[in-house]
Each structure stands twice: as C-alpha cells, then as structure tokens.
Structure 1
Amino acid sequence: MEYRQLGESDLKVSAITFGAWAIGGWMWGGAERRDAITAIRASIDQGVTSIDTAPIYGQGTSEDILGEALQGISRDKVQVLTKFGMSWEGNKGQFFFKSKDNDGKDIDIYKWSGKEAVIKECEASLKRLRTDYIDLYQIHWPDDTTPIEETFEAVLRLKEQGKIREAGVCNYTVEQMKRAESVLPLASNQMPFSMVERTIEQELVPYCIEKKRGILAYSPLQRGLLTGKIKPDHQFNEGDSRAGNRFYTPDNIARINAFLSLIKPLAESKNASLSQLVLRWTIERPGITVALAGARNADQAIQNAKAIDLKLAPEEIDFINKHLNALTLT
C-alpha cells in the first residue's frame, strides 16, 4: 500500500481508502452486516489503514458496523474518517431532500451544522465508533443556514479537546474553504471525482495543490459504472439512488462501456481488472490524494486494495486520457 500525507496535517492515510457508504445500506438497496465487517477487516489485512464513513449512512448503521469491525485492532493502526452536518431527525437547518431509512420509513434530510449540533454529533459518532477520537472530522455538505465560521469554531473546540485530530470538508467550494480556514487549518476536501466527473479540476484542484490541501476522491468508480459490469438494461433495487441519475441512462451506460472496452486490454495486459485500472488512474491524477473505494464483501475489498500494485507508465496514462477525452455523455 502507498501512504500519503493529508495536506499539511500530521495525518497519513492509505491511497486506497475504504469508503463505507454502501455498507450502511442507505441509498444502496441494503447491505449485509456480516459481509461488511469481513470487508473492512480484509481491507486492513491488505494494508488499507483509512476508512471513511458518516452518520447519515444508514442513520448510524455504517458507523456502528465500523466500530464493531475495529474491535481487537490497535486503534493507532487505522485512521477513522467520519462526517457531520446531515440530520435525519428534526427540521433545523437547510432542507436537503426526502428519503427512506433502511426500514423503508420516510425521512427528511436536513443540512444542519450549528455549533451545538456539531458537538452533539461528534459525541454520538464516538459512541457508535467505539473510540475516543476521530482522525478526520469533515462537514458533509455546506449548510447555508449556519455561518461557516460558527461551524468551525465548534470543530476547533473538538480539536482542542482531543476528540478529533484533523478537520476537513466535503463538497466545499474554494470560497467556502477559505472561510473555514479563517478559523482553523483544513487537512482536506472530499469531492466527487471520477473519469466521467472531473468538474473539480477546473478550480478546486489547482487551489488545493497551491495551498497543499488533500483531496479525497469519492465515487471514483462512479458507483460501479466504471467497473464495466453495469449494462444498459440494468435494473436497480428499490431504494437505489443510482436509478434515474444521468450517468445511468441506457445511452450513457453504453457510451461508457464502449470507452471501457478500449482500455480493458491495458488492464488485462497487467493482470488487473478495469476497476483496479480506474482506481490507479484516479490516484495518479494531479492533486488527488486518496481514492475512496466501497466494498460490500471481502473479495471486493481485497481487489480494491490490490489496485495499488498496478503501475502505469506516462504513455499508458496518455493512452487512457486520449480515449477518455473522446468520450461524450448526454
């Protein structure tokens, strides 16, 4: 495994990080707890030291599973990354969207990051995670109803108390990062990034390179689409938010699969899967520190971790980029 410093912080994380959204079940059509625990432990056995989760993933389920999976593992051998600022209880803050919990019950999701809410959320996460500190504490989404400075004053207090090691953001613009950093330094920004979703390369990546801030790329496999396993006639399970997303229209799936067929021989020549090739390409992109890769079972987790063994020469990266630049989606 490769380990990379997150920005200018003291935190070192594995370049392939376990993304624990899917194991929470929420928006992924369910998940099996036992498989999730074995997936986390298999990742750690492969050298993956960092695991990214959030309270909203299954409304506490993902954090609780992670807490169980880490029992018996030395705490200083792993980095626990979690988040705050998405509420499924109450109606404070900024309404985000309607959803259903893992039991099919209707819930309203709010973005809420008032000072007291941040402190309360941290305590709840620590309890579910069965730990006394969080390595990276990240705001999940901007909350327009709360001044950014107020939110990060609470985060600063948590850091001073030793309950978190470093502070990060997710889905923040450059200007929002600057406001947060008027209160305390940030280690990183976690953003959507994949071969087919490279919006952040326009402004955010140059800023983070200049200011030496880490970037955690989430959904680098575009939630399974870049594995080549999803076909134009794919039927998603009830509750799976990929259904209806623009990337998953039959036409776009077909276009993406055609692109993948062009780069698949390169993966095969290296005894690697398409997923491994895509993950390796992701962490080779300028400014990208980490690729978050989800897994629902041990085999998927092991295959994700082994992406680190794949090496790409500059001309091979150019070959991928040439075909990628020719890909157009509707």
Structure 2
Amino acid sequence: MEYRKLGTTDLEVSVLTFGAWAAGGWMWGGTERQEAVDAIRAAYDHGMTSIDTAPIYGQGLSEEIVGEALKGIPRDKVQILTKYGMRWDLTKGDFGFKSQDNQGKDIDIYKYAGRESIIKECEDSLRRLGTDYIDLYQIHWPDVTTPIEETMETVAQLIKDGKVRQAGVSNYNVAQMQEAEKYLTLASNQVPYSMVHRNIEADVVPHSLEQNIAILAYSPLERGLLTGKIKPGHHFNEGDHRAGLPIYQPENLVKVNAFLDKIKPLAEDKNATLGQLVLRWTIAQPGITIALVGARNAEQTIQNAKAMDVQLSQQEISFITDELNKLQLPG
C-alpha cells in the first residue's frame, strides 16, 4: 500500500481508502453487518488504514459498523474520515430528496450545516465511531441556506477543541472551495471521479493542484460498473439506487463494456482484474490523491487492495486514456 498526505496537512492516508457507504446498506439494498465488519478489518489487514464513512449511510449504521470493526486496533494506526451536513432527523436547511431507510420507512433528507447542527453531528459521530477525535471532517454536500463562513468557522473550533484533526469538503465546486479556504486550511475535496465521470478535470483538478488541496475520488469503479461484472440486462436488488442511473442504462452498458474489452488484455497481461487496473489508472491521474473504494465482504476488499500490486508505465497509462477518450457517452 502507498500513503499520501492530504494537501499541506500532516494527515497521511492510504491511497486506496475504504469507502463505507455500501457497508451501511442505505441505497444499496441492505447490508450484512458481520460481512461489512469483516470487509473493514480486511482493509486494515491489507494496508488500507483509512476508512471513509458518513452519518447518512444507513442513518448512523455505517459509522456504528466502522466503530465495531476498528475495536482493538490502536487508534493512531487508522484514519477515520467522516462527514456532516446531511440530516434525516431534522427538517431544516436545503431539502435534498426523499428516500427510505433500511427498514423501508420514508425519510426526507436535508442538507444542513448550521453551527448547532455540526456540533451535534460531531458528538453523535464520535459516539457511534467509539472514538474521541475524527481525522478528517467533511461537509457532505453544499448547504445553500447556511453561509460557508459559519460552517467552516464551526469546524475550525472543533479542530481547536481537539475533536477534529483536519477539515475537508465534499462535492464543492471551485467557488465554494475558494470561499471555504478563507476560514481554515482545507485538506481535501471529496468528489465523484472515474473513467466515465471526468468532468472535474476541467476546473476542480487545476484549482486543487494550484492550492495544494487533496482530491478524494469517490465511486472510482462507478459503483461496480468498471469491474466488468455488470453487463446489459443486469438485475439489481430492490432498493439498489444504481438501476435508475443514466450510466447504467442498456445502451451505456454496451459502450462501457466494449471499452473494458479493449483494456482487458492489459489487465490479463498484468495478472490483474479490470477493477484493479482501473483503480491503478485512477490514482495515477494528476491531482487525484486517493481513491475511495467500497466492498461488501472481505474478499472484495482483498481484491481491491491488490490493485497496488499492479504497476503501470506511463505508456500503458496513456494507452488506457487514449482508448477512454474514444468512449462517447451521453451527458
């Protein structure tokens, strides 16, 4: 495993970081708790010392599972990344969307990052995670109803209080990043980035490189699509959000799988899976500091970690990118 520091901070994280969204089950058709715990422990055993979670993932369940999985591991040997600013238990702020919890109960999701809410969320997260500090605390989505100044100054106070080590943002555009940077040192921005979702290369990447802010790429395997295991006609479980995404529509599945067929010989030559090749390419891209990758069980975690065994030359990276640039997807 390789490790990189986030921006100008002293926080060092594993280049492949375990993403615990699916572990919480919410929007992924449920979860098997013990398998999720085993997946996180396997991540640690294979050098993925950084775990990214959020309260909204399973409405607290993902954080509880992370806390359970990390019991017995020295706290200074792991980095816990979590978030704030999405409430399902409060009707305040910017209404996000309607959803259902893991029991099928209707819930309304609000983006809210006011001072009192952040303080409460931090305490709740610390309790669920079973720790007394969070390594990286990230606003989950922009909240248009609360000044960024109020949000960032609250997190700056949490850092002074020792409850948070570093501050990050998620899903922020350049203007929002620039505003946040006025009030504290921004360690990172967590944004979607994959072979088929590269629009941040136009603006967020150049700004982040210029300001030395880390980029945490989420969904680098495009929620499983880039593993090559999801073919046209794939059936999703009830409650799995992927079924409605544009990239998963039949015509796009055909195009993406055709691209994957072109780079598959390179993966086979490296004795690697397509997913491992994709992860290696992703963390080699300019400005991409780490890739967040989820798993539903220990075996998936181990296969993800093995991506670090794959070595790609600049010529091979260019070959993949050239093939990728020929891929025409709507939107």
TM-score range, shorter chain: over 0.9
In the superposition, the TM-score normalised over structure 2's length comes to 0.99
Deviations 1:235-285 (A, max 9, x none): 111111111110000000110000000001100101100000000000000
Q: 1:42 Cα shift? A: 0.6
Q: 1:231 Cα shift? A: 1.0
Distance of 1:21 and 1:10 partners within structure 2: 26
Distance of 2:265 and 2:105 partners within structure 1: 45
Distance of 1:309 and 1:14 partners within structure 2: 14
Q: Match of 2:172, SS?
A: coil
RMSD: 0.5
Alignment-derived partner of residue 280 in structure 2? 280
Q: 1:181 Cα shift? A: 1.3
Alignment-derived partner of residue 92 in structure 1? 92
Structure-to-structure mapping, 1:307-322, within 5 angstroms: 307-322=307-322
Distance of 1:195 and 1:181 partners within structure 2: 28
Q: Does 2:83 align with 1:120? A: no
**Greater Cα shift, 236-245 or 130-139:** 236-245
Deviations 1:20-67 (A, max 9, x none): 000000001111000011111111110111000000000000000000
Could you tell me which amino acid in structure 1 is paired with residue 301 of structure 2?
A: A
Structure-to-structure mapping, 1:97-116, within 5 angstroms: 97-116=97-116
Distance of 2:309 and 2:248 partners within structure 1: 30
Alignment-derived partner of residue 164 in structure 1? 164
Q: Does 2:202 align with 1:202? A: yes
Q: Does 2:33 align with 1:33? A: yes
Q: Which runs of 5+ in 1 are unaligned?
A: none
Alignment-derived partner of residue 302 in structure 1? 302
Q: 1:329 Cα shift? A: 1.2
Distance of 1:57 and 1:194 partners within structure 2: 21
Q: Which runs of 5+ in 2 are unaligned?
A: none
Give the aligned length.
330
Could you tell me which amino acid in structure 1 is paired with residue 160 of structure 2?
A: E
Q: 1:309 Cα shift? A: 1.1
- Identity percentage of aligned residues: 67
Distance of 2:197 and 2:84 partners within structure 1: 24
Q: 1:153 Cα shift? A: 1.1
Alignment-derived partner of residue 185 in structure 2? 185
